[in-house]
Amino acid sequence: MLELKSVGAGYSAFQALFDISLDVRHGEAVAVIGPNGAGKTTLMRVISGLIRPQKGAIAFEGRDLALTPAHRIVELGIAHVPENRRLFARMTVEDNLRMGAFMPAARARFRQRLDFVFDLFPRLRERRDQIAGTMSGGEQQMCAIGRALMSEPKLLLLDEPSAGLAPVIVQQVFDLVRRIRSGGLTVLIVEQNVQQVLKVVDRAYLLEAGGIRTAGTSAELLESKSIREAYLGV
């Protein structure tokens, strides 16, 4: 479904990703783990088009993403929940969700998508007229995920959805990822919370210093000595 081949990318003079090759198959949930500054967020941005690759190829369902204008990538079925949520904090929940349905195909199905998101997050239905920035961190994260789901994506990119949330809420976020998956959506998730995320995904890549260090199934990574020492603290 998604395939990166030898991708290099970065910010003007600074290269953050080197020779990344990665693939996500239809219906899978895949995690990207790694320390701070490894390039995980950059990887998500290069997939959704916020930054363009300097080298290599990115294909989604056979289409070359490097040739697709950034604002058209969401139309192909890729929705990106950015790091730190990035809600439109001074707009209402409903306006935020409306922005998620900006593209013409999603506009036409706005009502249905709104019902879908509200069924997934009943909290958001209660708060639809509230200013997004005044909600709790967990509610804001739901709103950010809801906004991404408004476009009816095939692939959902989640960048550290559990960051900064209380433990109970973190649990809810991972439950949610499980539910979204079972609905047939393909998920690529970046997480610091390695122990938890490996329980909900099929496979994972370990990113370090802009390169892929290791890849494997969740079970393999949970048993790997180096991962256990570095990321699971055991």
Ligand X SMILES: Nc1ncnc2c1ncn2[C@@H]1O[C@H](COP(=O)(O)OP(=O)(O)O)[C@@H](O)[C@H]1O
How much of the chain is in helix, strand and coil states, percent to nearest 5?
Answer: 45, 25, 30
Nearest residue to 60 (alpha-carbon basis) of 132, 153, 178: 153
Q: Which does 37 bind (CB under 5 to 8 A by kind): Mg ion, ligand X, another protein, none?
A: ligand X
| 66 lies in the binding site for another protein (CB under 8 A) | no
Nearer to another protein, 20 or 106 (CB): 106
| 99 lies in the binding site for another protein (CB under 8 A) | yes
Pattern of binders to ligand X over 112-141, x per CB under 6 A?
A: ------------------------------
Q: How far apart are CA 202 and CA 218, in angstroms?
A: 6
The single residue listed with the structure tokens 């990106």 is: 80
Quickly list H helices, 121-185: 122-126, 137-149, 167-182
Sign of CA dihedral 217, 193, 43, 227: negative
Q: How far apart are CA 8 and CA 21, in angstroms?
A: 10
| 48 lies in the binding site for ligand X (CB under 6 A) | no
| 162 lies in the binding site for Mg ion (CB under 5 A) | no
Name which position in 20, 29, 31, 41 contacts Mg ion (CB under 5 A): 41
Residues that bind Mg ion (CB under 5 A): 40-41, 83
Q: Which residues bind another protein (CB under 8 A)?
A: 48-50, 69-75, 79-80, 82, 86, 88-91, 95, 98-100, 102-103, 106-107, 147-148, 151
